[in-house]
Amino acid sequence: MNRDDSEDSPEVLRKAARDVWAPKLACIAVVVHAISSLVVAFWLYWIAPGYKKRLDDFGTEISSSAVFAIGVSDLFVNYWYAFVVFGAAALVVDYIATEWMTRMLGRRWAILTVLIITIIVLSHAIIGFVILQNTILKRN
């Protein structure tokens, strides 16, 4: 019997550890990404339209970045149901991809990817908020 085929070989043990962690890490990734997506959805549906009303009250020209942020908000408000369907599909793909990454690349790379995606999602809400806030402050 070859030593590599043994149940105690390092590669077999490493694969077993990856198989144990894969579903757990995939569930954590889905929860983290769902929460960060809900934060962005909250901003797009409730916060950004309030900024739009305030900017309309000023009656002056606004920057193209503020127009873009308001346009994305309007798109989300008008077609929220499509975003819900897309978001649910994205979370299923997220689960499958994270489980695969954990099994193939290891726990460290999968965790790093989860964190990077979360930072990217939340940064979009923060950037949009800053753009609209700066536009309003310039008008005062």
| pLDDT one-digit tens code per residue, 87-113 | 899 999 989 988 888 888 777 888 888
Surface-to-core class of residue 102, CB atoms within 10 Å of its CB (0-12 exposed, 13-18 middle, 19+ buried): buried
131 near 73, Cβ under 8 Å? no
Q: How far is CA 80 from the centre of its chain?
A: 16
Give the pLDDT confidence score for residue 84 in this predicted structure: 92
Render pLDDT for 38-87 as a digit per residue (tens, 0 to 9). 988 998 899 888 888 888 887 767 778 888 888 889 999 999 999 999 98
What does the radius of gyration of the chain's CA atoms come to, in whole angstroms?
A: 22
pLDDT category of residue 6 using cuts at 50, 70 and 90: low
Indicate if the pLDDT at residue 21 is higher than 90. no
120 near 39, Cβ under 8 Å? no
Query: Is 0.85 topped by the overall pTM?
Result: no
Distance from the first to the final alpha carbon of the chain: 80
CA atoms of 44 and 50, how far apart (whole Å) = 10
CA atoms of 105 and 102, how far apart (whole Å) = 6
Give the pLDDT confidence score for residue 1 in this predicted structure: 47
38 near 110, Cβ under 8 Å? no
